[in-house]
Homo-oligomer: A and B are copies of this chain.
């Protein structure tokens, strides 16, 4: 791109900005007041997820290139869809707040990152809204579809289930720590480079629902408890077990091999977050079938009735409480989104009239 000065949004003006953003959507997609979703054949249901990213809270221009800001926003939302069992992305809407002085070039790269991420999973930019704001914020809503008979729910874990995750945890957090300490261009192929890439360009596990279906043993009914690990593996286990009044014994942390020797490896793995893997609780026979088919998946341990999350010490085999830590996104409050069938129930009412 060279050093051509990029016009600011205020310089571009609204019409021109809109014209430029249209490039990131299919032709005609942005022509109306709202976006139409494709109709979905019977047996499938729409799923929706929303996330807000705020500059200097959820990303920093010093550690996150704009392509990565857009990419990560899409992947974070798609990860939530996958955690419900969705295997198809319809698209995203984007509510962007930014100052008029923001260079177009930066924004173009953000939308380029979104388009690339959507290209990975299918789905379109469906539309959105851009408003003036003192700082950059990105509110995204993703829409997908799920097979009605193959939902994944957070609250479906049972005592005796195996705890399984779809991949290793900790690399993204390690990458962020490297970026924060000033590592900008690590040597290609090095652990540092892999960690930075894991942080900047994570992949949502939209493939997991299909892998679960493929491994389901005949005669085993569909029951999969699961959530994504966007706020850290420890937080995911808390949501799967602790919030149901259950516990979990974790026999082996899913550390990437290269992190095992690092002093902070365990912390990155348990509390780092943003690996965007799925953490599941399954009937043991099914879990074994899944682990047999999918070598990338990891067996973590077992769901217990004792309401404690305990970790087996690798040195002496004893169970100990999880080392203390905070979920990754301690600035944010995720308002989880409901899986209940709202078919014909009444709308909520507030406690007073607007008069």
Contacts and interface: CB of A to CB of B under 8 A. Distances in A.
A333 B130 contact: yes
A180 to B, nearest CB: 18
Nearest to A35: B337
A262 interface: no
A303 B151 CA distance: 50
A339 B113 contact: no
A314 interface: no
Query: How many protomers of this protein does the assembly include?
Result: 2
A57 B134 CA distance: 10
17 contacts: A26-B340, A26-B346, A31-B336, A31-B339, A32-B337, A33-B227, A35-B48, A38-B341, A49-B127, A52-B97, A58-B131, A93-B337, A95-B95, A113-B350, A115-B349, A117-B354, A129-B139
Q: Which 8 A-B pairs have the closest CB atoms?
A: A127-B337, A139-B139, A29-B338, A37-B46, A35-B337, A112-B350, A95-B139, A32-B339
Given A32-B227, A201-B354, 17 more contacts: A24-B350, A25-B338, A27-B340, A28-B340, A30-B335, A30-B338, A31-B153, A32-B338, A33-B228, A36-B342, A52-B139, A112-B350, A125-B348, A128-B337, A129-B332, A130-B335, A139-B139
Interface of A: 14, 17-18, 21, 24-40, 42, 44-54, 57-58, 67-68, 71, 80-81, 83-84, 86, 91, 93-97, 111-119, 122-135, 137, 139-141, 143-144, 146, 148, 151, 153-155, 201, 227-228, 331-354
